[in-house]
Amino acid sequence: MLPSAPSLPFGGPKSAVDNEEFLPGTKLAAEEGLYAKNSPNDSDTTIAERNRACGQKYFRKRMWGTMNQFRAVLLDRDCWMQHMMLSPETGMDPPGVKLRAAQGLDAADYLFPGYWVWARMISNLAAIGYDSNNMHLAAYDWRLSFPDLEKRDAYFSKLKSNIELTYESSGGRDDGAAVIITHSMGSLVFQYFLNWVESSKGGNGGKGWAEKYLHGWVNIGGPMLGVPKSVSSVISGETRDTAHLNAFGAYILEHFFSRQERADLFRSWGGLSSMFLYGGDELWGSANEPAPDEPRAPREPLMSPPEHMTPKSTHPESTTVLNSPPSASPPLDKNTTVEQPLANPSFAHLISITKAEHPAGAPEEKSSYANVTTGDMMEFLGRVVGKKRREMWDASYDFGLAKSKKDLKRAKEVPTMWSNALLAPLPKFKRGFKIICEYGVGLRTERKYFYTPDAVADANASGKNATKGSSIFALDLTVQDPDRNVENGVQMTNGDATVPLLSLGYMCAKGWKLKRYNPSGAEVVIREHQDKRLGGPIVPSLRGGPGSADHVDIMGNYALTEDILRIVAGADDNIEDRIYSNIQEIADRVKLPDGLD
């Protein structure tokens, strides 16, 4: 018999033969107590905790993306869940688990074989001369809260160093300043970084760092005001595709894990909570008046060219009209009692909850709604997920709105405010700095949810198995109204199929045009992309094609790619606003506090 080898920090006990690739390291760790320096988060992990981990067979394998994920979920679902879920106590690695973001240009080029994300963009940048010496993909662990990205991985410190190195490698020339390209949640990460990097409580780069090292920012599909479906995923574990779950990833979770398991997983991800809704009732609508993006007339088209468009910004595609969104509705009191679900179609209520059905034989009563606005969001979520999780979210993010100049000034030194564009102003940028907002429009996008505390299907039910646990809420699948774009308890609006138009475009159309949020007056350009999918009834396209406006597929959109290539080549003088939606009208309806500009 061969002696048993010591356990690994990331796997259970194995024989010396099975642990051969880790010898003599495991032997020295056990006999001499060798352990990596500067690893305070791991050094207290006990041997027993390491033995509970199951990750040895997945050493250097990807647990998210590639076919390894599918195999792990299919054959070893509990181990996969153990690795993907963060600690409910710390929001970081559970004991005995080490899972880190892949690095390099191939970290986010393909999610699965054939399913590209950044690959098309990287290839096109290479076509005009960019390579790994002057192009850096700053991959991050999107499960972690933004403060924990720095605490565990020194993510923002590394990003700062890479940007500085790129600049210095160019000889310190002005054209060596970096163009930052962000997609989806990455836009919020960069918003946080812009405040972190100059703050004495962050990167300590001092005032002027952004002005020196940054040339421009291309914001692709950035949910600057958050994503409604991030809220729904932590309430009930029901989601189709969030900003980091594509359709295939959502399929795996929904068919192999119960709703309760999915809810627990999503709630553990502090990064997901960064996409809760910012701005409160002023941005998303209150109980007393419609939301800014509320349709103002019955059957108002989802897509039509707004009146303010000029010949410069008008495009032949702008005449397309898609399905109409919900009709406008009068304001409802939060405690309104109604008999039919769609008596309350207002966007101003992010969530409407029906009363559970009465047991057989009980007297019938009207169904009452508890209407939750965005201003009520965190209090409501706290009741759903518990005090501990709510406190962790509050320690990472502030979802409020600047009400005074004092708030704007204070936000620069309060880390919880750094991801919030409605609280933390942009830093000073150099002359010629541009923020170019590229996003898709014209696709049905989740905006509001109808929930019931009495699940239609048991919280433990999933496609393949059932486990212990229960969920407090479930989508009310009985709520249906095609005329108001309500399907299976979800009300839709205009957007890129993941992020609503309000979140995609408000900061670009109005917020960053104001001195309070853009004190140096950096130019902001909107480039909307109307969906023009390829494929037909005989050979449908699995992806949207070069004209797609979908949240992920837009990364292969030819028009977007052309814009980016011109921007990074310094040939962007003719890139001007191109607007198909009514985002300007929506933005003008938002009433911000006076006197801050």
Residues annotated as part of the active site: 184, 496, 551
List 441's β-bridge partners, or say none.
530
CA distance 436 to 526: 6
Q: What is the CA radius of gyration of the chain?
A: 25
Q: Which long-range contacts (CB under 8 A, 24 or more apart) does 459-464 make?
A: 459/258, 459/259, 459/260, 460/258, 460/259, 460/260, 461/258, 461/259, 462/254, 462/255, 462/256, 462/257, 462/258, 462/259, 462/261, 463/254, 463/255, 463/256, 464/255, 464/256
To 5 degrees, how large is the angle CA 150–CA 153–CA 155? 55
Task: Provide DSSP, 315-327.
Answer: -GGGG------PP
Buried b (16+ CB within 10 A) or exposed e, 197-208: bbbeebbebeee
Helix, strand, coil % in the chain, rounded to nearest 5: 35, 15, 55
Using the structure block, give the residue that is written with the tokens 């032949």. 316
CA distance 299 to 305: 16
267 within 8 A of 385, measured Cβ to Cβ: yes
Using the structure block, give the residue that is written with the tokens 């940048």. 125
